[in-house]
Protein backbone atom coordinates (compact mmCIF):
# COMPACT_ATOMS: atom_id res chain seq x y z
CA UNK A 1 0.00 0.00 0.00
CA UNK A 2 1.28 3.43 -0.94
CA UNK A 3 0.19 6.66 0.74
CA UNK A 4 0.57 10.18 -0.63
CA UNK A 5 -0.10 13.32 1.41
CA UNK A 6 -1.09 16.72 0.02
CA UNK A 7 -1.76 19.96 1.89
CA UNK A 8 -4.53 22.20 0.63
CA UNK A 9 -1.86 24.57 -0.75
CA UNK A 10 -0.25 21.76 -2.72
CA UNK A 11 -3.65 20.84 -4.13
CA UNK A 12 -4.15 24.45 -5.26
CA UNK A 13 -0.78 24.30 -7.03
CA UNK A 14 -1.66 21.01 -8.76
CA UNK A 15 -5.02 22.39 -9.88
CA UNK A 16 -3.38 25.56 -11.20
CA UNK A 17 -0.80 23.56 -13.17
CA UNK A 18 -3.47 21.31 -14.67
CA UNK A 19 -5.53 24.37 -15.62
CA UNK A 20 -2.53 25.85 -17.44
CA UNK A 21 -2.18 22.62 -19.44
CA UNK A 22 -5.90 22.67 -20.20
CA UNK A 23 -5.82 26.28 -21.42
CA UNK A 24 -2.76 25.62 -23.57
CA UNK A 25 -4.39 22.65 -25.24
CA UNK A 26 -7.57 24.63 -25.83
CA UNK A 27 -5.48 27.38 -27.44
CA UNK A 28 -3.76 24.75 -29.61
CA UNK A 29 -7.10 23.42 -30.81
CA UNK A 30 -6.97 20.11 -28.90
CA UNK A 31 -10.33 19.92 -27.06
CA UNK A 32 -9.88 16.22 -26.22
CA UNK A 33 -6.54 16.84 -24.52
CA UNK A 34 -7.97 19.89 -22.75
CA UNK A 35 -10.91 17.82 -21.47
CA UNK A 36 -8.49 15.21 -20.14
CA UNK A 37 -6.64 17.78 -17.99
CA UNK A 38 -9.91 19.46 -16.96
CA UNK A 39 -11.19 16.12 -15.67
CA UNK A 40 -8.06 15.52 -13.61
CA UNK A 41 -8.23 19.08 -12.21
CA UNK A 42 -11.87 18.51 -11.28
CA UNK A 43 -10.95 15.40 -9.29
CA UNK A 44 -8.30 17.33 -7.34
CA UNK A 45 -10.86 20.13 -6.79
CA UNK A 46 -13.20 17.62 -5.16
CA UNK A 47 -10.42 16.59 -2.79
CA UNK A 48 -9.59 20.23 -2.06
CA UNK A 49 -13.26 21.03 -1.38
CA UNK A 50 -13.40 18.21 1.17
CA UNK A 51 -10.28 19.59 2.87
CA UNK A 52 -11.84 23.06 3.09
CA UNK A 53 -14.54 21.55 5.32
CA UNK A 54 -11.89 20.62 7.93
CA UNK A 55 -10.26 22.85 10.56
CA UNK A 56 -6.99 24.42 9.39
CA UNK A 57 -4.68 22.10 11.30
CA UNK A 58 -6.33 19.01 9.75
CA UNK A 59 -6.18 20.14 6.11
CA UNK A 60 -4.02 17.33 4.76
CA UNK A 61 -5.29 14.80 2.22
CA UNK A 62 -3.85 11.33 2.64
CA UNK A 63 -4.43 9.43 -0.59
CA UNK A 64 -3.94 5.69 -0.47
CA UNK A 65 -3.24 3.49 -3.47
CA UNK A 66 -4.58 0.00 -2.88
CA UNK A 67 -3.95 -2.66 -5.49
CA UNK A 68 -6.14 -5.76 -5.61
Higher local confidence (pLDDT), 67 or 48: 48
9-64 pLDDT per residue, tens: 899 999 999 999 999 999 999 999 999 999 999 999 999 898 888 887 777 888 88
How many residues are there in the chain?
Answer: 68
Quote the pTM value. Answer: 0.81
Domain count, the chain: 1
Sign of the four-CA dihedral 6, 12, 15, 20: negative
- Long-range contact set of residues 42-45: C-beta below 8 Å, sequence gap at least 24: 44/11, 44/14, 44/15, 44/18, 45/15
Selection from 4, 8, 11, 49 nearest residue 19 by Cα: 11
pLDDT at res. 63: 81
Which residues span the domain enclosing 8? 2-65
Amino acid sequence: MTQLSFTSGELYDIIDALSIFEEGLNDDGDPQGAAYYANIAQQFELIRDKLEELPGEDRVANLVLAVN
